[in-house]
Amino acid sequence: MNNKYNMDDKFNLDDEETKYNMDDKFSDEENKKDEEIEVLDLWEPHAEEITDAKDRHIKTSKKTTNRVVMVLVAIGALLLMWYATFAQPLASNNKQYEPRGTLNVDFLREYTVSKTGKAMEVKEPNFSNKKVNFYISFAEAGDKIVYNLTIQNKGNLDAKIKNIDPPINNPSDKILYSVSGVQIGDVLKAGQEAQMQFTAIYTGGVAKGETYSKDMSVSIDYEQA
């Protein structure tokens, strides 16, 4: 009898414990649902406010972006105004002070030649920048050759002859050189021409049937008058 009572008591206890556990489980779930309902109840009245705040934030961000763009556009416009007001006139003034003229004095590629005695041209003169090279031969003392050259101021500024370099008279060459018609310090107006004479006279002698050849040159230099 005691054993039966104990078993009945045990089953009763187990049933009560199981019932208690199930009650606790249902109670926890109901509490959880109640909490969720409370959170929803708390959030729902403010849902519209939260949505409005989000919309305001988006609008504020757009306004800020628009303001930045407007500021950049304004800065660009100010830079353009500054360039038009100051930079362009300054560049124009600099151009106005740049030299407008050119200096260019040189020999024209044309000449005449006169010969005395047996003086001869070995070949035609060679014209280069501000210089003329001559190739001449002589056979007897007194042979003479004269070149008539033309110098022109091809620039649009007045120029002054600064230097003339004829061959140096060397007694061993037995040739006398001279330049006339143009002198150091002469001024050539823009477009003006001047005549120069280059003369070479042979003072020596050579054996019969032989010739004495000599290469020589004359050059000029100039500056603004």
One domain for residues 72 and 39: yes
Nearest to 200 by CA among 86, 107, 122: 122
- At 35 the pLDDT is 61
One domain for residues 127 and 193: yes
- At 24 the pLDDT is 55
- At 1 the pLDDT is 47
CATH number of residue 109's parent domain: 2.60.40
Residue 113: exposed, middle, or buried by beta-carbon count in 10 A (0-12, 13-18, 19+)?
middle
One domain for residues 219 and 109: yes
One domain for residues 122 and 187: yes
One domain for residues 33 and 119: no
One domain for residues 109 and 220: yes
How many residues can be counted in the chain?
225
Q: How many Cβ atoms are within 10 Å of 120's Cβ, its own excluded?
A: 15
C-beta pairs of 120-127 under 8 Å, 24+ apart in sequence: 120/145, 120/211, 121/145, 122/213
One domain for residues 120 and 90: no
One domain for residues 217 and 200: yes
* Location of structure tokens 């070949």: 123
225 residues of the chain, pLDDT tens digit each: 444 445 555 445 455 554 445 555 555 666 666 665 655 565 556 556 666 666 666 767 667 777 888 888 888 888 888 777 776 665 555 545 445 788 999 999 999 999 999 999 999 999 998 999 999 999 999 999 999 999 999 999 999 999 999 888 888 888 999 999 999 999 999 999 999 999 999 998 788 888 999 999 999 999 999
Domain boundary among 96, 131, 148: 96
One domain for residues 30 and 141: no
- At 114 the pLDDT is 96
Distance of CA 12 to the CA centre of its chain: 105
Domain that holds residue 217: 105-224
One domain for residues 33 and 126: no
One domain for residues 62 and 115: no
Number of domains in the chain: 2
Report residue 97: phi and psi, to 5°.
-90, -5
Domain boundary among 61, 78, 96: 96
Round to whole Å and give the CA distance between 42 and 14.
Answer: 41
Domain boundary among 50, 77, 96: 96
One domain for residues 88 and 139: no
Sign of CA dihedral 152, 158, 160, 165: negative
Nearest to 168 by CA among 176, 160, 158: 176
